[in-house]
């Protein structure tokens, strides 16, 4: 895998603040969400934070896999769907949560299952923005977000390589 030119590392503290900011935006919508459907795996952490902040106790997962690296995203494969009860009325009253919308392909797959649900994510890239209703931060399409659950502590090269220190 080739590394992207633009990296956006996110710490646990930053992610928690951003997920809470998403909860604030969602609370301001004055919708009575009856359940959260989180898109695994990335949606698990923000769903936990948002369920606490919005006091939503019913949490379901939809599990979708695809071969994905920095350059390509492959075919979508639904490993686990959503409980039939939550699909009633197209998922009306359901809040779908993910960490990121990149190309929008995953959200499109879930939208086919829950067309009337409210889609929210913490971060969004331009290609994915049309697939979500609410998000917190937009980054450029060529930026790679490094989530805290994917990182360890290592030395980081300066942005301007060859700088004198």
Please indicate whether residue 99 is annotated as part of the active site: yes
* Binding-site annotation: residue ranges for 5-phospho-alpha-D-ribose 1-diphosphate: 41-42, 98-106
* Binding-site annotation: residue ranges for Mg(2+): 99
Query: Annotated catalytic residue: which of 5, 13, 18, 102?
Result: 102
* Binding-site annotation: residue ranges for guanine: 102, 145
* Binding-site annotation: residue ranges for GMP: 102-106, 144-145
Please indicate whether residue 102 is annotated as part of the active site: yes
Cβ atoms 34, 94 nearer than 8 A: yes
Q: Please name which of 74, 72, 71, 70 lies closest in space to residue 146, comparing C-alpha atoms.
A: 70
Look up residue 58 and give its two tokens. 């019913």
Query: Annotated catalytic residue: which of 69, 71, 98, 150?
Result: 98
* Dihedral, 65, 113, 95, 82 alpha carbons, nearest 10: -70
* Binding-site annotation: residue ranges for xanthine: 102, 145
Query: Annotated catalytic residue: which of 5, 99, 142, 150?
Result: 99
Look up residue 128 and give its two tokens. 């994915």
Cβ atoms 54, 23 nearer than 8 A: yes
Active-site annotation, residues: 98-99, 102
């Amino acid at each position: 895998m080739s590394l992207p030119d633009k990296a956006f590392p996110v710490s646990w503290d930053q992610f928690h603040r951003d997920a809470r900011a998403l909860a604030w935006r969602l609370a301001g919508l004055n919708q009575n969400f009856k359940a959260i459907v989180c898109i695994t795996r990335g949606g698990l952490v923000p769903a936990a934070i948002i369920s606490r902040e919005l006091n939503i106790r019913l949490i379901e997962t939809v599990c979708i896999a695809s071969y994905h690296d920095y350059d390509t995203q492959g075919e979508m494969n639904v490993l686990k769907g959503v409980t039939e009860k939550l699909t009633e009325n197209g998922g009306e009253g359901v809040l779908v949560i993910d960490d990121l919308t990149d190309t929008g392909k995953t959200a499109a797959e879930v939208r086919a299952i829950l067309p009337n649900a409210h889609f929210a994510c913490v971060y969004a890239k331009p290609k994915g923005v049309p697939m979500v209703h609410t998000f917190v931060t937009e980054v450029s399409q060529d930026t790679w977000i490094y989530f805290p659950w994917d990182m360890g502590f290592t030395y980081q090269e300066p942005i301007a390589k060859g700088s004198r220190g």
